[in-house]
Amino acid sequence: MDEEIIAKQRRVMKERGLDALIASSPENLAYTTGFVVPSQLLMRWRHAMCVVEPSGHTTMVTIDMEETTVKAHAAFDDVRVYREFTDDPMREVAGALEDRGLAGAAIGVEMEYLPVGDFDTLRSRMPKAGFLPADAIFRDLRQVKTTREIGLLRSLSRITDRAIGETLAHARPGMTELDMAGELTGRIFSGGAQDFKLMIIASGERSQFPNVGPTDRALQEGDLIRMEIFGVLDGYHAGVCRTAVVGAPTEEQARIWDNLIECKHLVMELIKPGAHARTVYQRFLEKFDELGLEPISFVGHGIGVFLHEEPYLGRYGEEVLDEGMVVAIEPLVYIPGRMGLQNKDMLLVTRDGCELLSDVTATDELIRIG
């Protein structure tokens, strides 16, 4: 476990008057414990939960199938194991809390994740306890990354960027999107990622579609290719997107790309501690509007155990940036019926500005294939 994260949770519990904080979603469990419980991602009823107390005491509740995995990845003060099919995990959680003298305590719970039936079971077993929503607490805590999180995201950003850049460098006319997908996934894993999410490979007329996977469409001269993937490591995500062209870009494509890269560098200049998220977006719009095209409602977002987290650099962004935040910025264009171009990078907010984490592939000009 990341002791900086546990310390942050202990502080917020004392500030909010909580006697325990329960991480139950796969994302916040990975955030709290530092690892992923594999089957929890696939079967929601296989609950895995970590209870943290203001004293720092930690209790892990897990299904018997995952007991060895849990014990191998982190040292908890207590591990409670329930049997699949015969035991109710919520009763085990309630029993663990009662054994810690928390039967009438104020307990933070992820209301947005826990199914109603399971919450009702927990509440009926602990009628004297006060259960309070902790979803916003976790969202706020996750915004500023710890030293370990920053190191992990820096490494993962380069793994993801390199996998995309090398795949595009080896692409040739006649290859299919599925061919490229095979090469991309191989490079993601050989580079050191444990998993990936949301692979987007969209070429030619398909480049206009925001979130589509690969098909058997073959690359042709003049095609644009949008390639995006989220590499995953210990439950954390790095989102990187690159755009390439088969052959030489048209004058229009080059003009749009030049604007998107100017937007990238402008946003990087603006990102620093104290910058207001909406102000960054408004300044981005001043440059992007030169294209006369429809913008998306944000140019960047926080990222970590979720693909999208606060802060949002958008028209509704209310956050003020702080040192240690990690954001993904993505100037992009989707022209319905015609084409799409996108560049997505990972940035760390530093003491005086920002650091480009996805720094492997050169993007100032459209990548050329063939």
Predicted confidence (pLDDT) per residue in 313-351, tens digit: 999 989 999 999 999 999 999 999 999 999 999 999 999
Instruction: Work out the average pLDDT over 40-64.
Output: 95
CATH code, 67? 3.40.350.10
* Radius of gyration of the CA atoms of the chain, in A: 23
Residues 6+ apart with CB under 8 A from 136: none
Q: How does residue 131 score in pLDDT terms, banded at 50, 70 and 90?
A: very high
Residues 8 and 80 in one domain: yes
Q: What is the DSSP letter of 218?
A: B
Name the domain boundary from 86, 107, 142.
142
E-strand stretches of 41-171? 49-52, 58-63, 78-82, 106-109, 130-133
**CA–CA distance, 97 with 108 (Å, rounded to integer):** 12
Same domain, 250 and 287: yes
* Secondary structure string (H, E, C) spanning 226-249: EEEEEEEECCEEEEEEEEEEECCC
The domain total for the chain is 2
Q: Could you give phi then psi for residue 312, rounded to 5 degrees?
A: -100, 125
Same domain, 211 and 345: yes
Give the percent of the chain with pLDDT over 90.
98
- Tens of pLDDT along 4-30? 999 999 999 999 999 999 999 999 999
Is 138 in the same domain as 151? no
What's 176's domain CATH number?
3.90.230.10
Domain of 101, in residue numbers: 3-142
One domain, residues 287 and 349 = yes
pLDDT, tens digit, 9 for 90 and up, residues 273-313? 999 999 999 999 999 999 999 999 999 999 999 999 999 99
Q: Which residue type sits at 365?
A: E
